[in-house]
Amino acid sequence: MKKSFSRAAHLGILTALALVLSYVEHLLPLPVPVPGIKLGLSNTVLLYALFMLSKKEAVLLMLLKVLIQGFVFTSFSSMLYSLSGGALSIFAMILARHFKGISIVGVSISGAFMHILGQCTVALFFITYKAVLSYLPFLLISSCITGAVTGIIAKTVLHHLSGRNSK
Amino acid sequence: MVKNYKTDLLIAVFVLFLAALCFLIGILCNKSNSDTVEIYVDNALWGTYPFGEAQLIKIDKAGKHICTVCINEEGVYMLESCCKNQICVSSGLLTREKARSSDIASWIVCLPNAVTVHLALGDMQ
């Protein structure tokens, strides 16, 4: 019983952290010529949940983040984009984690790549495919870079936390 | 450890290869005969307007005004939009020079309202 309360509290803190990181990112846009590109800092929290907690909790964290973010900060359509991207991203990261040759940076790049792919697939239903095709190359290149950056951040955080836990 | 980075690098190369492929397909798909401003709403062509002729295009969806596109002598821009993120408005003025520089620079996209504005240059052929 006590353990489940502790897990719920842990999940609550991680959700809050993911939301705060998303909000901070929204306030500080990246100085890139392509609009809408984000670093995806909240993905580090998702990676932490995936590597330190469990698959189930990582999926729950993604759903909570998307829903709360959708209701508080964005609109229903934005929530749809986040949900499709988030669902594909977490699925890819869970799958990539099982491959022994892939490090946390590779897992993060896979997640970022699938996030873009999920969002662009939903975008195809609403906007012309020509616009999606124009944006896709730049979004894919950015997913490579942002995925690597968030992966390195998550790796550093996990390294320090595992060192602290073992003390 | 080295093995880990090799696989990570392979994933990154695969993503970059896909990006290059999409870039080529995008160039082949976005061709037109004259300088026009194309506005798409909900994945359908809303209207085509001559570039350079000053006009305000008010876009409504389901009886509700969602955004206004402005065309002037210099270019085209999203004057105002009801979306929360305002990325389309902050995209700024879309000029011939910008559109010529890269394919992505010839678009203004408002994802929440499903509105896209495209400056199609005839001399791009």
Reported as a pLDDT band with limits 50, 70 and 90, residue A13 is: very high
Q: What is the DSSP string of A60-87?
A: HHHHHHHHHHHHHTS-HHHHHHHHHHHH
Reported as a pLDDT band with limits 50, 70 and 90, residue A114 is: very high
Return d(Cα B125, Cα A69) in angstroms, integer. 43
Burial class (CB in 10 A: 0-12, 13-18, 19+), B54: exposed
Give pLDDT, residue A70.
Answer: 85
Domains, chain A, ranges and CATH?
2-28+39-166 (1.10.1760.20)
Q: In what order do the strands lie in the sheet with B107-110?
A: B44-50, B36-41, B115-120, B107-110
Give pLDDT, residue B4.
Answer: 60
Q: Which residues contact A110 (CB under 8 A, 6 or more apart)?
A: A92, A93, A95, A96, A102, A147, B11
CB of B56 closer than 8 Å to CB of B47: no
CATH superfamily of domain region B33-124: N-utilization substance G protein NusG, insert domain (2.60.320.10)
Domain coordinates in residue numbering, chain B: 1-30, 33-124
Give pLDDT, residue A1.
Answer: 61
Give pLDDT, residue A95.
Answer: 94
What is the enclosing helix (H) or strand (E) of B55?
Answer: strand B55-61
Give pLDDT, residue A64.
Answer: 93
Q: State whether residue B104 is helix, strand or coil.
A: helix
Question: Model confidence over A52-87: pLDDT tens digits?
Answer: 888 999 999 999 999 998 888 777 888 888 999 999
Query: Which of B12, B18, B104 shows the shortest C-beta gap to A138?
Result: B104
Which of A39-43, A71-75, A76-80, A88-92: highest mean pLDDT? A88-92
Q: Is the pLDDT of residue A91 over 90?
A: yes
Mean pLDDT, chain A, as a whole number? 87
A34 contact residues in B (CB cutoff 8 A): 104
Give pLDDT, residue B31.
Answer: 61
Give pLDDT, residue A164.
Answer: 63
More confident residue, A128 or A154: A154
Distance from CA of A77 to the nearest CA of B (A): 6
Q: How far is CA A15 from CA A7, A9, A10, A77, A126, in A?
A: 12, 10, 9, 21, 29
Q: Is the pLDDT of residue A17 over 60?
A: yes
A137 contact residues in B (CB cutoff 8 A): 19-20, 22-23, 26, 104
Query: In 3D, which of A122, A116, A102 has the Cα closest to residue A145?
Result: A116
Query: Which of B16, B84, B103 shows the shortest C-beta gap to A141?
Result: B16
**B18 to A133: CB separation less than 8 angstroms, yes or no:** no
pLDDT, average across residues A114-140? 88
Q: Is the pLDDT of residue A36 over 50?
A: yes
Angle at alpha carbon of residue B31, lines to B30 and B33, rounded to 5°: 145
Compute and round to an integer the Cα radius of gyration of chain A.
16
CB of A135 closer than 8 Å to CB of B40: no
Give pLDDT, residue B2.
Answer: 47
Q: Give the pLDDT of chain B (125 residues) as one tens digit per residue.
A: 445 678 888 888 999 998 888 888 877 776 655 688 999 998 888 888 888 788 889 999 888 899 999 998 888 999 999 988 888 998 889 988 888 887 788 889 998 888 999 888 876 54
pLDDT, average across residues A30-36? 74
